[in-house]
Chains A and B, each alone.
Chain A
Amino acid sequence: MTGDVGVLASGGCHLFSGCGFPAPGLQDFEWKPFFTIGSFSFTKPMLLAILAALVVIVFFWVAFRSPKLVPRGMQNLGEIAILGVRDQILRPSLGRKGDSYLPLLVSLFFFIYIMNVMELIPVFQFPVTSRIGFVWPLVFIVYFLYLYLGVKNQGAWGYLRNMIPPGVPAPIYIILVPVELLRFFVFQPFTLGVRLFGNMFAGHLLLTIFTLASWYLLSLSVGLLYAAGSFALAIFVFLLETLVTLLQAFIFTTLTATYIASSVEPAH
């Protein structure tokens, strides 16, 4: 984190002390690199993404390294996690025949969730998915997977034809072709990525604004009252974000499951 926020966080900047409120902005999503090799810079969001991946890998490896028929300890948690994704995300869209996609959806859900929840953990305090560069690779994985499955299961022509539901009159069909093509190939993956990024970006910005405002307004004046209000809002946004982090991972994975389902079988 760079710029004015650093000045404020270092302690001196309060209401009536002569410095204006250093409002958070895009600069708070830029990080000084830990180290640089040539043109490659290793930054905090990268470290957090690697940590998130390690958390998911280590958790499921520990849970299932020697699985028992009657689960105990970590295996219990692991099974709850997997069954949760299976029953709440996979089965409603894909049914039993979609169980082969469970490893993908479980990995996707928990990887995104851990990256999101980094926002709320002290020291980390940054949602990795608020940097859109971390979201697009996930979107491309999903995008190419459902395109591949669609062509494999329905054939290239059948896949394109099935985008428009049957029963539409021929003139309307022609009018809809550009809309359907653009929706399917551009806006469907675009909204999948931008929603996750936008929610986490906005959430982090709100949290930063109210936290910094609480600190800035903290003074022996009327500002103390406003500081209390701002702090209450910071707590509220924090609680809201505990829900949003989970919800965004859920929505991304659920939509992935429904896109896979529409590729495996044409929509009716």
Chain B
Amino acid sequence: MSSGNDASTQAQKRAAAQGRAQGLDIGWTVFSYLLAGMAAYGAIGWLIGRAVHVSLLFPIGMLVGLAISLGFIIYRYGGQGAVTRPSPEATQKEMTGDR
């Protein structure tokens, strides 16, 4: 019985450590995406702006890059929480005993 509890505690600790590592990785990847999006499209905007003599393309490029990054972050990581979270309908069914 106690060995079963130990195994369960170990599994919980492993899951918590995995969650920590994954959270750190995702957090810093998201941060890098935001910076990279602004830098990449800011640079492209700056280069085009330099060629056509429109300096406004640099900040516009940065904003476009930020929007692309945000969109991709939502696409890639946005659904992760929803997968594990039970839907309200399922919770209600559980609570009312409606099986």
Q: Which residues of A contact B (CB under 8 A)?
A: 87-89, 91-93, 165, 168, 172, 175-176, 178-183, 186-188, 190-192, 195, 251, 254-255, 257-258
Instruction: List the A residue with the shortest CB-CB distance to B40.
Output: A178
- B residues contacting the other copy or chain, number (CB 8 A): 27
Binding site secondary structure of chain B: helix
In the bound assembly, the distance between CA atoms of A172 and B71 in angstroms comes to 10
CA distance A254 to B17 in the complex (A): 10
Q: Are B14 and A91 closer than 8 Å at their CB atoms?
A: yes
Measured between beta carbons, the chain A residues less than 8 angstroms from B36 are 179-180, 182-183, 186-187
A254 to B39 CA separation, bound complex (whole angstroms): 26
Pick the residue among A93, A168, A181, A186 that contacts B21 (CB under 8 A): A93
A-B contact pairs, 14 of them (CB 8 A): A92-B14, A92-B17, A92-B18, A168-B75, A172-B72, A179-B37, A179-B40, A183-B32, A186-B36, A187-B35, A191-B32, A192-B28, A251-B24, A258-B22
Binding site for A on B (CB under 8 A): 13-14, 17-18, 20-22, 24-25, 28-29, 31-33, 35-37, 39-41, 44, 65, 68-69, 72, 75-76
Cα-based distance from A93 to B20 in the complex (angstroms):
10
From A187, which residue of chain B is reached at the shortest CB distance? B32
Chain B residues with CB under 8 Å of A92's CB are 14, 17-18, 20-22
Which residue of B18, B29, B41 contacts A178 across the interface (Cβ within 8 Å)? Answer: B41
- Given known A-B contacts A178-B40, A183-B32, A187-B32, A257 and B21 have beta carbons under 8 A apart: yes
B68 pairs with A191, CB closer than 8 A: no
Q: B29: which A residues are within 8 A, CB to CB?
A: 183, 188
Residue of A nearest to B65 (CB): A179
Q: Are A255 and B25 in contact (CB under 8 A)?
A: yes
